[in-house]
Chains A and B, each alone.
Chain A
Amino acid sequence: MARYQLFSKTFWGSHVARVVDDVELTSYSGAIRRTIHQEMERDPRVVVLGIDVGRGGGVFGVTRGLREAFGEERVIDTPISEMGFTGLAVGASIAGLRPIIEIMYIDFIGMCLDALLNQAAKIPFMSNDVLRVPLVVRTQFGGGRSAGPQHSQSLEAVLAHIPGLKVVMPSTPVDAAALLSASIREDNPVVFIEHRHLYAIRDHVPSDVTPAEIGRARITRAGSDVTLVSYSRMLHLAEAAAAKLADDHDIAAEVIDLRTISPLDVDTVAESVERTNRMLVVHEAVEPFGVGAELVAQIAQKCFHLLDAPPERLAAPFQSIPFAPALESRFFPDVDGIASATKELCDY
């Protein structure tokens, strides 16, 4: 598994650069684009809808070329009607299509929440699994670059709290491909949350990636002193912190990438904590009522007698995300912050 070199901390926080390698590298966004293309070739029922996804190729270029390849019947530029086209996609999936919709920023999920909460998540249950909803909702998030309070939020916990929805968050190009193809082939609704500051990172992605198992976390760095759990962009910062801790303090942190938020792979985390006896969860989302809260609760239950320190979270404070760089640069966890919080846990 490739490791990502970090630029020195800039005004906006750490960046992730590409691996120095001479193998052909695919970007995270390119892996997503290629996966959608392959799945659309494989299954004529897969269709793409969203604002500017067709002619515009998507505001982040992720769907570039799809309309040229598959035509305007299968790649639809919708009006700015999230409520309407999300409901439309749910209805279309019940009637036999396999839609992939794009919600441009996860902050806009409020516009279409009923279609996900009360329709997509509930119709399979209410119909006794006769009506299926094979829908993928692609969306993206990412704080750190002054997009402001309404364009920077992490809302995965809001969606993960809804039974009937799966929530997937890849941190690497390979996982983006593997998890997206699994999500498209899944017969239930999946929210696929991309990170926009990961779109440019590159890795070698095989052209025939095996669909991943949704709901399976991965240990990305083995260790024995403490378990560091994270996902999406923060996973890379956690890895960098683990490297720093090994160099500076001889602390061997085990890093786990959750990859899927719901269903949560607590078993992988619990098995790790049984060996390390300490856990820190790091995420970009605000601390209260988040993924960290869920993991800490479950690990406290499952591993109570094996813990040498209280299970902890490191996350953003319970506030709106500021746009001013002077304020935002201090808002999210950074590598040094993760390293010192982890060390504190080890010194407990």
Chain B
Amino acid sequence: MNAETDRLPLLRDMYRMMLLIREFETSVQHRFRDGEIPGFVHVSIGQEACAVGAVSSLQPGDYVLTTHRGHGHAIAKGIDIKAMVREIYGLSSGVNGGRGGSMHISDASRGLLGANGIVGANLALGVGAAWATKLLREERVTMVFFGDGAVQQGLFHESMNLAAVMRIPIVFFCENNGYAEFSAHSTQTVGSSLEERARTYGVDALNVDGTDVEAVHKASERAIGTSRSQGVPTLIEARTYRASGHYEGDPQKYRSNEPADLKTSMDPIALARSRLVELGDQEDELAATERAARGEVSAVFEDVLGESRGARS
């Protein structure tokens, strides 16, 4: 067994997980458009490598907090997919009794302390949860996800400062997809990069290609290892691609200047697939994995749609 084939089991697992998320988010997108899902939804198509690469580096007892665009992180953390779909459909059988919905998914039994509908709010909550684990002498690391848009929120500044001055074991994971809702990153701030900003707070920072799930995994292992062993905050900035709009239904007029091939050239699933092929996986195996993911997800959605229709009648 050489170093290359050592990569295979992990990469296969991560590929499967990314497929699951992609199928899930695509189903959410289509069924939302068909009027089945109430409220609003924010899908993470294109950002799967961040969720999977990062969360796969955590222990089951570690905490994760995420954003309004949190389905991928929840799935990577091991949430029951059916319970999550039921929650998104607003059923009382949902993981949060139908009281949270898409933007507020949580599962305390798996350390998913919640998605949040307020940009930046989870940063302080995460710092607090991590601080609690320190005082309670628990061997947990907390990872909090946020987007490039949240960096301009005052709470980002306060959370970074508190985490550093109070020595808190938290990993800040920024999914930089270049857009804060409808605004391109360049219109939101001038000056230092996120890495430089983190360093001025005394927080060690790493930059990573967020479309490369193996790279994200390696960077996350490093950051998590540092936070866990030294009890300090760390930050990862991952450059990624948000394939859809800010919310489902967003006409995305603000993206007309984007190069047309960005969607495919920055697709993390395509990249992982080509890596698996390079490492020797066969086409029929990969196709079978893809079919299985599609089948699993569509069966769950069909079942829940039936339940929701039954609930309404």
Q: List chain A positions with a Cβ less than 8 A from chain B.
A: 45, 47, 73-74, 76, 78-79, 81, 83-97, 114-115, 118-119, 122-123, 125-128, 130-131
- In the complex, per-residue mask of B95-135: 1 if CB is within 8 Å of any chain A CB, else 0: 01101110010101000011011100101111111111101
Contact of B128 with A91 in the complex, beta carbons under 8 Å? yes
A88 CB contact (under 8 Å) in B63, B99, B127: B127
The distance in angstroms between the C-alpha atoms of A73 and B168, with both chains bound, is 12
Write out the residue numbers on chain A whose beta carbons fall within 8 Å of the beta carbon of B158.
79, 81, 83-85, 87
Sampled A-B contacts (21; CB under 8 Å): A73-B135, A78-B162, A83-B154, A84-B127, A85-B158, A88-B128, A89-B128, A90-B125, A91-B124, A92-B131, A95-B136, A118-B117, A119-B116, A119-B125, A126-B100, A126-B101, A126-B106, A127-B106, A128-B96, A130-B108, A131-B113
Q: A95-B128, A131-B113, A131-B114 are in contact. Are A87 and B133 (CB under 8 A)?
A: no
Task: Tell whether A79 pairs with B162 under 8 Å between CB atoms, given A47-B135, A87-B123, A131-B114.
Answer: yes
Q: Indicate whether B292 reaches chain A with its CB closer than 8 angstroms.
A: no
Is the CB–CB distance between A131 and B132 below 8 Å?
Answer: no
Listed from nearest, the 3 A-B pairs whose CB atoms lie closest are A87-B124, A91-B128, A84-B158
- Complex Cα gap A91–B122 (Å): 8
Cα separation A95 to B128 with both chains bound (whole Å): 8
Question: In the complex, A125→B106 CA distance in Å?
Answer: 11
What is the total of A-B residue contacts with beta carbons within 8 Å? 125
Name the interface size band of chain B: 35 or more
Residues of chain A with a CB closer than 8 A to B106's CB: 126-127, 130-131
Does any Cβ of A come within 8 Å of B161's Cβ?
yes
Given contact pairs A91-B128, A97-B131, A97-B135, a sample of 4 additional A-B residue pairs in the complex whose CB atoms are under 8 Å apart = A81-B161, A84-B124, A87-B128, A94-B129
Q: Which residues of chain B are within 8 angstroms of A79 by Cβ–Cβ distance?
A: 158, 161-162, 165
A339 to B113, CA, bound (A): 53
Chain A residues within 8 Å of B104, by CB:
122, 126-127
DSSP class of A's interface residues: helix, strand, loop or mixed?
Answer: helix
B135: which A residues are within 8 A, CB to CB?
A: 47, 73-74, 92, 97
**CA of A342 to CA of B176 in the docked complex: distance in angstroms?**
63
- Which of chain B's residues have a CB closer than 8 A to the CB of A81? 158, 161-162
Measured CA separation A115–B126 after assembly (Å)? 12
